[in-house]
């Protein structure tokens, strides 16, 4: 059984990896988690995110997005970044511009997971 501190560290590390694979800048990463830039800087120094917190719920979505895109593109970070920054005809949006809203991030995760499962 994983203890809460271990789960907090595991989620933080997975989120940092996901943000890196997606090619997020600090402002994009902060927007995705709906936190300040200083929170992102602190996350690198002290990696902890409570999965039950609102930030934790957004972090879980970000990890799921990274996993779905990885499955779609064979883990190619250039393709993942292209997907996030290009207008998507299926969604009718540029995904990176929508992830700062809870509904936007959730919607993008649902669509990418659906595509990855086909």
The pLDDT tens digits for 38-94 are 999 999 899 999 999 999 999 999 999 999 999 999 989 899 999 999 998 887 889
23, pLDDT greater than 60: yes
Task: Report H helices in the chain.
Answer: 4-21, 26-33, 37-45, 54-73, 77-85, 95-98, 102-116
Say what the pLDDT of residue 2 is.
56
Say what the pLDDT of residue 50 is.
96
The residue written with tokens 């999965």 in the block is 51
Say what the pLDDT of residue 5 is.
72
Instruction: Return the structure tokens found at 51.
Output: 């999965």
36, pLDDT greater than 70: yes
DSSP reduced 3-state for 94: coil
The pLDDT tens digits for 7-17 are 999 999 999 99
Task: Compute the distance between CA of residue 1 and CA of residue 10 in angstroms, rounded to an integer.
Answer: 13
Task: Compute the distance between CA of residue 9 and CA of residue 30 in angstroms, rounded to an integer.
Answer: 18
Say what the pLDDT of residue 28 is.
92
Indicate yes or no: pTM above 0.75: yes
Percent of the chain with pLDDT over 90: 79
Residue 11, judged by CB atoms within 10 A of its CB (0-12, 13-18, 19+), counts as buried
């Amino acid at each position: 059984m994983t203890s809460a501190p271990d789960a907090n560290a595991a989620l933080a590390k997975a989120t940092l990896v996901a943000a890196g694979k997606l090619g997020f800048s600090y402002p994009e990463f902060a927007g995705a988690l709906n936190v300040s830039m200083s929170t992102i800087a602190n996350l690198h120094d002290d990696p902890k995110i409570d999965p039950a917190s609102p930030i934790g719920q957004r972090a879980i979505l970000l990890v799921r997005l990274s996993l779905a895109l990885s499955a779609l593109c064979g883990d190619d970070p250039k393709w993942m970044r292209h997907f996030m920054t290009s207008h998507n005809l299926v969604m009718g949006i540029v995904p990176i511009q929508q992830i700062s809203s809870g509904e936007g991030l959730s919607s993008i995760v649902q669509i990418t997971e659906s595509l990855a499962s086909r």
